[in-house]
Amino acid sequence: MNFKIPRGTQDILPESSAMWKYVERKAHDLCRRYNYKEIRTPMFEQTELFQRGVGDTTDIVQKEMYTFQDRGGRSLTLRPEGTASTVRSYVENKMFGWADQPVKLYYIGPMFRYERPQSGRMRQFVQFGVEAMGSDDPAIDAEVIALAMSFYQELGLKGLKLVINSLGDKESRNNHRNALIEHFKPRISEFCGDCQGRLEKNPLRILDCKKDKDHELMASAPSILEYLNEESKQYFENVQSYLSSMNIPFEVDPGLVRGLDYYNNTAFEIMIDGEGFGAITTLTGGGRYNGLVEEIGGPQTPGIGFALSLERLLMALETQGVSLPVESSIDAYLITMGDDAKKKAPGLLHKLRSEGIAVDTDYMGKKMKAQFKAADRQRASFTLILGDEEIAQDTIVLKDLNSGEQEQLTLDKAILKIIESKRGEE
RNA sequence: GCGGUCAUGGCGAAGUUGGUUAACGCACCGGAUUGUGAUUCCGGCAUGCAUGGGUUCGAGUCCCAUUGAUCGCCCCA
């Protein structure tokens, strides 16, 4: 029996896990600076949470959820995104009553969607997301956007494009929605089947249909921006002026629509120009969701957040040839010769390691020459050589692999030298 | 759910109109160098070409099916 990894999943092997760790650290570090606190929620939830929180009409709920029954007959679903869980926890733990408002949270973890895998789209993928709940100050919208942009920029990504839009508040949305229906209804038969279905359910989605994008009614369709009421318009302008004051360039795209139902006012996406990027250009999606907490059973509470995929980030870094400062090397490699030395190795290694030295040795019965090669491959700074001569004199040979110089000295002195050299590097 | 492409050693990859010993490179192991990592040279490393059927005197090469990977559509992160 040969076992294979499930479709749409991947093993992250040591050569890339170092990069994962690096970008995760970057996210943690950034959130610390912005004062967002980490939240860890379960990887599965009651199915109904996602139906309510993500929206029954969305593709995610309709065809992409990993849903199963547990032994108690409860319907559970592997989380397809992080916001619903975060909001559930917010409500369940009564965070609306916490002293510090807004409540600023972030998460990093795997999400699951049952889809055909392709470039930048996996069945299990890792999202880094941020949620700020309790404030509807446009400054916090700008803060959340700035956090996402900084994340990419500090990692060295180029060619980013921030696209923003306003979906308006409830009133603006409704007016716009009616205008759209009026606009498309007379000639809806000229559109694809999907769009015909969208007309009543969610006419906004017609606007980002790829099949019908050249239809003349698309260009002339009423823009949400024309339907923003005074309050929403002011809000959007404030967000823009905050972004400008942070020198974050952006583009307003009235066609930017969110796939998830709970968004209102601010919506944004961070995209990347992409050779080698295929169909995927969206790195981050985010926006404001003032109705969601209530939908999940909490008090009326505004919120805003984003989610971004670490897979796509790493893909972007790779296509741009950005090399992360990840290094896997050890301080020393112990080379033993002869049975006596071999017997002393474990005790010696233990001592070195307890001194904080990263050290390894041979367990394959290799000859000395092969042990040197292994030391090289592991990019060890030093080799420690232990043979009969050294044992007889109660010493060890310390060789600097960069300079090639070596000397015979006591173990304690060798340890001091290695530690000294480590300090020099830092 | 629907399309395109692909599937040869640890990895990258040759493999011509089907023809008998499946190139080559990298990595790895050993030797030249019996206590020192470069280079060089020599040697080793696929009873098998995703799986199962079929055509044929003969199949990695042709046909069918299955599985998987990958890219795209839909949609999104």
Same domain flag for A30 and A91: yes
A120 touches strand B (CB under 7 A): yes
Write the CB contacts of A337 (distance below 8 Å, at least 6 apart in sequence).
Answer: A368, A385, A386, A387, A388
The pLDDT score that the predictor gives to residue A1 is 53
A369 touches strand B (CB under 7 A): yes
Phi-psi group of A394: left, alpha or beta (phi > 0 → left; psi -120 to 50 → alpha; rest → beta): left
Task: Show the domain range for A19.
Answer: 14-169+229-319
Paired tokens of A203: 């006419």
Last residue of a domain, one of A259, A287, A319: A319
Same domain flag for A303 and A336: no
CATH of the domain at A75: 3.30.930.10
Is there a contact between A397 and A332 (Cβ–Cβ < 8 Å)?
no
- In the structure, how far is the CA atom of residue A22 from the C1' atom of nucleotide B13, in angstroms? 33
A83 touches strand B (CB under 7 A): no
- Which residues in range 151-210 of chain A are in contact with strand B, contact meaning CB within 7 A of any of its atoms? 194, 205, 208-210
pLDDT one-digit tens code per residue, A117-140:
988 899 999 999 999 999 999 999
* Weakest-pLDDT range from A271-285, A289-303, A328-342: A271-285
A42 touches strand B (CB under 7 A): no
Predicted ipTM of the assembly:
0.84
Name residue A272's beta-bridge partners. Answer: A160
- Whether A210 shows a pLDDT value over 70: the answer reads no
Same domain flag for A391 and A262: no
- Chain B positions with any atom < 7 A from a protein CB: 1-3, 28-31, 33, 35-38, 68-77
Write the CB contacts of A115 (distance below 8 Å, at least 6 apart in sequence).
Answer: A8, A64, A121, A123
- Whether A250 shows a pLDDT value over 70: the answer reads yes
Same domain flag for A111 and A18: yes
Share the mean pLDDT of chain A.
Answer: 90
**Is A282 a domain residue?**
yes
- In the structure, how far is the CA atom of residue A31 from the C1' atom of nucleotide B13, in angstroms? 45
- In the structure, how far is the CA atom of residue A211 from the C1' atom of nucleotide B71, in angstroms? 19
The nucleotide whose C1' lies nearest the CA of A400 is: B37
Same domain flag for A65 and A131: yes
